[in-house]
Structure formats: C-alpha cells, structure tokens
Amino acid sequence: MRSTGVRARSTAREARPPHARPRETEYRPAHPLDLARAVLPQRHGAGDPTMTTAGPVIWRASRTPDGPATLALRGAPGGVVRAAAWGPGAEWALDQLPALCGAHDEPSGFDARSHPLIAEAHRRNPDLRIGRTDLVFDALVSAIVEQKVTGLQAFAAWRRIVTWYGERAPGPTPKPMFVPPTVDGWRHVPSWAWHRAGLEPPQARTIVEAARRGDAIARAAASAFDADDRERVLTSLRGVGPWTSAETRIRAFGDPDAVSVGDYHLAHHVGYALTGSRVDDDGMLELLAPWAGHRQRVIRLIYASGVIEPRRGPRLHPEDHRDR
C-alpha cells in the first residue's frame, strides 16, 4: 500500500505544467570555459531527475532561495554561454550562472609543471573551471546519500526520493525533471520511503537531523571565513565526516583544494596516475601536497587525462536491503 502511494504521487507529477516565457541572458566568461566540465560534475548519475542533457543543451533543475527554477545552458561561438530560465527562482538562477560556470574559480598560482601527467592534462584542458551551486543544503544531502555505498545505489536512491518528494521542474524540460524537496520536506520524508528508496538508516537519520538545522547550517557554511571554518560547520552535524564535508564544499562552493578522503576509489586513481601504483589516503595526500590550494583541481585534471587505475576483479555487487 505504501509503494502504491508513492507511485500515485509520482504519476500525478508526470503531467507537464504550463510554463511562461523564460528569462534569458548571455554569459561571456573572461577566461576559456569548458561548459560541460564546469557544470556536469553536479549531476548525480545518468538518470538524475535534477540534471540532464539534450543534444548540446544542459538542463538543470534546482530549488533556489526564491523557489524552483529550471536552467537551460548552451555554449555558443566565441565562448558565450546562452541561458534560459523558468520558474519563481529564474532570476536567482541566472544571477548565479557565472558561479555555476566557474567564474569564482581562480587558478592563478597553480603550477602544473611538477608532474608530467598534470602538466600535459593542464595543457590540454586550459579551460577547466570548477563550478559552484551556492546551494549548501542540497549539496550536503546529495553527499550524505552517497556515503559508503556504490554510485549506482546512491544515484538510484537520490532519483527516487527527489522524484517522490520533490516538485516538478518548471519549463519545457526535455523529459520530466524535478527540483529537490524543501529543507522541511526532507525532514518529513517517512522512514519507510527511505527504506524503499534504498537508503540505509544511518544516512536517513543524518539527512533528517541535518534538515532540522538545515537553514542555520547553510547560512553558517556560506558565511564561514574559509574552507577550514566550513569544515567545522559541516562536521558539527552527527553523521557528517571529512568525506561528506569535502563533497559538499566541492559542489556548493567549488572548493579547489577539497579532497574527499575516505573515497573508495579516489586514492587508488590518484596513486596510479602519479606513480603507477595504488596508494592509501595518506599516500594520496602526500602526493597532492605540492599542489596545496589546488588539490581538487589536480584531481579533476587526472580524471580529464583519462589515466585511471584499471579495474581489478569483479565489480562490487550492490546490496539491496529494501525487501528485508
């Protein structure tokens, strides 16, 4: 009976709502920009209901401080980004567009020459910028969803909860898209829905507890003096550790130095790219130390280079506990 209720809510939102004419703008970055590399790291898997691509257009649905908004982005000749936005939060989304595209990312002082792979990746990707959403709570929740599970599990759980309890995105989206729930909406997701979505109880409890302090946490993190202060604010929440804090800071603030210590694969990839061998988290931090202040940038350049550790053995099989 419960799952039927979820299906009824989801089906009721499939009808495309009416939409007004969009607000439109053009963003002309002062630096070379790879739009996809700046924006698409915010996507939570190929089936993310908050972000998709349709041909050359990137579609993003978000819950802004002014309400739901849908943003459509397309690169144009001369490095121009053309944007259209719908919904109550359209103006906020357009004002935030430069930050989303990496306008606040400042690579000055970054020296790629100390390692040939990084130097070559930087030469091939001079337009790599780290974008930011400025939406702290949504970044925090998505990071909590991804704690200690495979990407497939996390992306599926995010997709289910956002579709069931979010709100249909405004505008002529190429497929049904949804904005995440409000902070209060996250707090009132019933326990059985977390279970049916595939989330473990510790993650659900952490999200609900974060939602109880959501607005205050978001304000404190946004007004923090530096990354260390943001780390202290975020990790003051029970269930939020260094990995979740780093992922939140990368997504919400475009932190160019954040390193997701504790990630299942990251240290292996960094070690393989820089030395040809696996390393643990301590070894990864030692390898990245020469680029202090730009360690996330180096990680993105490693992924852009395509040099990652080959798979060894069978894939980790996701455990599905929903029928327990």
Residue 287 is predicted with a pLDDT of 98
The backbone region for 109, taken as left when phi is positive above 0, alpha when psi lies in -120 to 50, beta otherwise, is left
Q: What CATH number does the domain located at 1-13+107-324 have?
A: 1.10.340.30
Q: CA triplet 11, 15, 19: central angle to 5 degrees?
A: 145
With H, G, I as helix, E, B as strand and everything else as coil, classify residue 75: strand
Helix extents (H) in the chain? 2-12, 35-39, 90-100, 116-124, 136-145, 151-165, 183-187, 191-197, 201-212, 214-223, 227-235, 242-253, 266-275, 281-288, 295-305
Output the pLDDT for position 20.
Answer: 78
Q: Which two tokens stand for residue 120?
A: 């070559």
HSE-up of residue 276 (Cα within 13 Å, Cβ side)? 1
pLDDT digits (tens, 9 = 90+) for 127-153: 999 999 999 999 999 999 999 777 788
Q: What angle do CA 320, 321, 324 make, to 5 degrees?
A: 140
Mean pLDDT of 273-283: 96
> Which pLDDT does position 322 carry in this prediction?
41
Give me the residues paired with residue 26 across strands: 82
Instruction: Find the mean pLDDT for residues 273-298.
Output: 97
The SS3 call for residue 190 is coil
What pTM was computed for the model? 0.89
72 in the Ramachandran plot: left (φ > 0), alpha (ψ -120 to 50) or beta?
A: beta
Residue range 203-227, pLDDT digits in tens: 999 999 999 998 899 889 988 888 9
Instruction: Identify the CA nearest to 193 among candidates 202, 182, 204, 183.
Output: 204
- Per-residue pLDDT tens for 69-105? 999 999 999 889 999 999 999 999 999 999 999 999 9
- Say yes or no to pLDDT of 62 above 60: yes
Q: How far is CA 264 from CA 19, 114, 243, 281, 284, in A?
A: 42, 26, 11, 10, 13
- What average pLDDT does the segment 170-186 reach? 96
Per-residue pLDDT tens digits for 98-123: 999 999 999 988 999 999 999 999 99
244-268 confidence digits (pLDDT tens): 999 999 999 999 999 999 998 899 9
Q: In this predicted structure, what is the pLDDT of residue 225?
A: 80
Of 314, 270, 274, nearest to 296 by C-alpha is 270
For residue 1, pLDDT over 80 is answered with no
Alpha carbon separation from 283 to 280, 310, 320 (Å, rounded): 5, 19, 33
Residue 323 has pLDDT above 60, yes or no: no
**Least confident window among 13-17, 28-32, 116-120, 183-187:** 13-17
19 class by beta-carbon count within 10 Å (0-12 exposed, 13-18 middle, 19+ buried): middle
**Tens digit of each residue's pLDDT (9 = 90 or more) over 3-23:** 445 544 544 455 555 667 899
How does the average pLDDT of the chain come out, rounded?
90
